[in-house]
Amino acid sequence: MASSEEKLDALLHALQELTTYLHGRGEKTLALSKQFEEHAKKDASSRDFDLNQAKMLDYQHHVWHEIGNVVEKLVKQYE
């Protein structure tokens, strides 16, 4: 059976991986947001849809990073 210290180390490692994942998701949604913005410039027929999608994805980008920052803060607190 793993000791408490080993369990804590494993948990901190998992949280570090989660932080990386969350920030990665943030960057992916930002890239997708920019694609919708670019498409809105090129195609007037779907401009409103594209701009709404870009806005929603930009918001998600910030949320992913905010959650990642909270998890990162927890990791640093318990390291």
| Ordered mean pLDDT values, 10 residues apiece, the chain (79 residues) | 91 97 98 97 96 98 98 94
16 in a domain, yes or no?
no
pTM of the full structure: 0.88
54 in a domain, yes or no?
yes
How many domains does the structure of the chain reveal? 1
21 in a domain, yes or no?
no
DSSP string computed for 11-72 = HHHHHHHHHHHHHHHHHHHHHHHHHHHHHHHH-GGGHHHHHHHHHHHHHHHHHHHHHHHHHH
The pLDDT value recorded for residue 33 is: 98
Domain of 54? 46-79
